[in-house]
Chains A and B, each alone.
Chain A
Amino acid sequence: MRKQVTITAEPIDEPALISQREMSPGMGAVVCFLGVVRGTEGKARIKALEYEVFQSMAEHQINLLFGELARRWPIESVRLVHRVGLVKANEPSLWVEVVAPHRAEAFAACQWLIDEMKRVAPIWKKPVVGSN
C-alpha cells in the first residue's frame, strides 16, 4: 500500500496533490476528504484556527493507523495532509485521499482514518478571534 503523511505549515495544494495520484488498473474508487476551518466556533465568529502539533509523534501515530488501515481494507493508496500553524477560516486544514478497488471500502477506510486520526494524533487547535 502506498502511504504518505504530510504535516506542514504550507497551504494545502489540492490540484498538486491530485496531479500526483497514482492508480493501478484494478482500482475503481477514489475518496477525497477536505476539512475546512469553519468561520464560527460555537456561536462566536473566528478568523482562524491556530494548530499546534507534536510532529514526530503525530507522524508515527498516523503511520500506525495506515498499518491498521491496510489490515482492514484492500487499499492501494492512502495520503493524508494536515496543515498546522495559523489556518484562516474557509481554508483547508486536512486533506485525505483513499484509493481502493470499490467505493464501499474507500468510504469506510477514509471515515475510519479521520475518526482515528482525530483521536490519537497529537494535534491541538485554538480559535483566533478578532476582526481582519
Chain B
Amino acid sequence: MMRVTVCFYSYFKDLAGCASATQPVACGSTLEDLFSALVVRFPKLGVMRKATLMAVGVDYQSRSYVLREGDEVSLFPPVQGG
C-alpha cells in the first residue's frame, strides 16, 4: 500500500467536506481506482464521476495514470475562468 494526497477544488470541497485528504491505495492503482476509493469515503463525489477533472501535480492526467508514492492528486469540476 501507499498513500497519496488528494486536494479538492471548487464545490468538490463541499462534496467531500474537506479541502484535502490522504488516501491509502494499493501499489499499481490508477487514478480511476483512486476515484472509486474516494467515492466510498466521500459518496457525494459519485455524481461527478464523469465530469471530474484530475491532475497530478500541475498536469492533467488520464484516469489510466498509475499512481506513485508521494503523488499529489487534485480533483475538480470543469473549469470556468475568464
> Is the CB–CB distance between B58 and A121 below 8 Å?
no
- Of B26-34, B36-44, B63-71, B74-82, which binds chain A? B74-82
Residues of B within 8 Å of A119, CB to CB, are 79
Taking CB atoms and an 8 Å cut-off, the chain A residues in 42-65 that contact chain B are 51-54, 56-58, 60-61
The range of chain A's interface size is 20 to 34
CA–CA, A58 and B82, complex, Å = 12
A124 on the B face (CB < 8 A): yes
Residues of A within 8 Å of B9, CB to CB, are 52, 54, 122, 124
Contact A117-B81, Cβ < 8 Å, known A54-B9, A56-B58, A60-B58 = yes
A93 on the B face (CB < 8 A): yes
In the complex, the chain B residue whose C-beta lies closest to that of A33 is B82
In the complex, the chain A residue whose C-beta lies closest to that of B59 is A60
CA–CA, A57 and B76, complex, Å = 12
A114 on the B face (CB < 8 A): yes
Name B's A-contacting residues (CB within 8 A). Answer: 7, 9-11, 53, 55, 57-60, 74, 76-77, 79-82
Query: A58-B81, A123-B79, A124-B9 known; 4 other A-B pairs, CB under 8 Å?
Result: A93-B82, A94-B82, A118-B82, A120-B60
